[in-house]
Chains A and B, each alone.
Chain A
């Protein structure tokens, strides 16, 4: 699975990248929203993990653009800090599929990615049938 990760904190970005690579995924890592947008157009990832607070283009803007009408359905997991309930709700309104609050366990994120990938696979199969 090709996963794009957008996170501005270097340790977080690297840890998520390593964890997902351990699970056998191909990872495109970016440290800001603007590069993330470019990478999405270039690589067409199967899943996106994005932080909310990022330089240039915020996570919410990213969700809004990816989930805009007419775009292919790419599942998105949003990473949020504690106490950002309103922002998380806004992300869901824009079409985010899941969220995880910092501090989080990379293992938990890995499980959520697996579950979301399975759901998307089932959905695609159902659509075809």
Chain B
């Protein structure tokens, strides 16, 4: 009490009230309560750690057992050989035990996926056969139907890696799912299973394709034989901007010269990023008149697109375009000035002398900019 008196002055109204209502036994009860809570938390954490440790040990043991079994499957040369291995009493009993628990089934599926990521040909086909033959595909499918978003995404990945084309229609439904991860997995899975044909989901999707998703799709497509690009011109008309962007990337990657006119039409697209991408694509599939076309576009564009056009003109322009580009040497933006100087310095017959004739090399910012640009070109 004396100690409390020392800290709680009787003149202090708030402290006085606290002294009246908070008795020492209240404090002791509070301390005991919080110690109890902390102890419970520590006990829970310890139990959880032990549980996690056990699971991880079990997973490790299972992985070791599976690796031997899967390896035997992978080197089989016929379905009969596969069946013979599965019928061996040693494996038959183990398989029955593995397939009876959901945890061991999950680990097994993960191992099968790892295997097909590393192996192709007959080995991968054998693993897919086993996955379907043992009904593990149904496990993945039920997770796809009932699970949370991350469970669904994993199920889609499993079905795709293990080449389960019979679930194509179900996976297709998820290509426009409201969850980004689920729809990303579904889109990539469709292409993984059917190649270029799978891109038909571009007709229906309303959610955007992220940059990462586009990269994944392009990577998957690179693993398939090239098929028809007939739908690409339709996708260029899509109200979904990311679909237009991806179509332009397809044209750029696969050099679809036959779609030149459609790409030129994209230069009048209301979205700036699409116009920018179209300019970049024209660099890849350009014709003899592309430079003059871009020069025309240059005058009407926003600064960001103008910069892209000037970069592209560095590769495509000729002496004929120099007169059209030279007004940009007097632009208020230094980056446009520099880009225009680069083009003229590179493509005009006079080189840097032409640039120096058009500007005042001693005046700012050219006194600093010009030596730097010259050095850049020399390098």
Contact = CB atoms under 8 A, between A and B. Distances in A.
B121 A11 contact: no
Contacts of A107: 121-123
Nearest to A81: B118
A101 B353 CA distance: 51
A86 interface: no
Contact of B120 (A12, A13, A15, A103): A103
A107 B126 CA distance: 13
Interface in B50-78: 63-64, 66-68, 70-72, 74-75
Most chain A CB within 10 A, of B67, B71, B111, is at B71
A13 B115 CA distance: 11
Interface in B20-66: 63-64, 66
A19 B73 CA distance: 11
Interface string A1-38: 00000000111111101110010000000000000000
Contact of B71 (A18, A103, A104): A18
Given A103-B124, A106-B119, A15 B74 contact: yes
Interface in A94-115: 102-108
Contacts of B296: none
A106 B115 CA distance: 12
Nearest to B121: A105
B374 interface: no
A14 B71 contact: yes
Interface in B174-194: none
Contact of B118 (A19, A103, A108): A103
A18 B114 contact: no
A106 B75 contact: yes
A103 B67 contact: no
Interface residues of B, number: 22
A105 B123 contact: yes
Interface string B64-96: 101110111011000000000000000000000
A66 B75 CA distance: 29
A18 B72 CA distance: 7
Given A10-B63, A10-B67, A108-B121, A103 B116 contact: yes
B64 A15 contact: no
B118 A106 contact: no
Contacts of B123: 15, 105-107
A11 B118 contact: yes
Most chain A CB within 10 A, of B63, B75, B114, B124, is at B75
Contacts, number: 65
Interface residues of A, number: 18
Nearest to B116: A103
A63 B75 CA distance: 27
A18 B75 contact: yes
B72 A12 contact: no
B67 A14 contact: yes
Interface string B6-21: 0000000000000000
B114 A9 contact: yes
B118 A12 contact: yes
B119 A105 contact: yes
Contacts of A19: 74-75
B326 to A, nearest CB: 42
Contact of A11 (B115, B120, B122): B115
B117 interface: yes
A107 to B, nearest CB: 6
A19 B126 CA distance: 14
Given A11-B114, A15-B75, A18-B75, A104 B67 contact: no
A17 B111 CA distance: 18
A77 to B, nearest CB: 15
Interface in A41-59: none
Nearest to A108: B121
A18 B71 CA distance: 7
B111 A11 contact: yes
A103 B117 contact: yes
B69 to A, nearest CB: 9
Given A19-B75, A103-B120, 8 more contacts: A11-B67, A11-B71, A14-B71, A18-B71, A18-B74, A18-B75, A107-B123, A108-B121
16 contacts: A10-B63, A10-B64, A10-B67, A11-B111, A11-B114, A13-B67, A14-B71, A15-B70, A15-B75, A18-B72, A102-B118, A103-B120, A103-B124, A104-B121, A106-B74, A107-B121
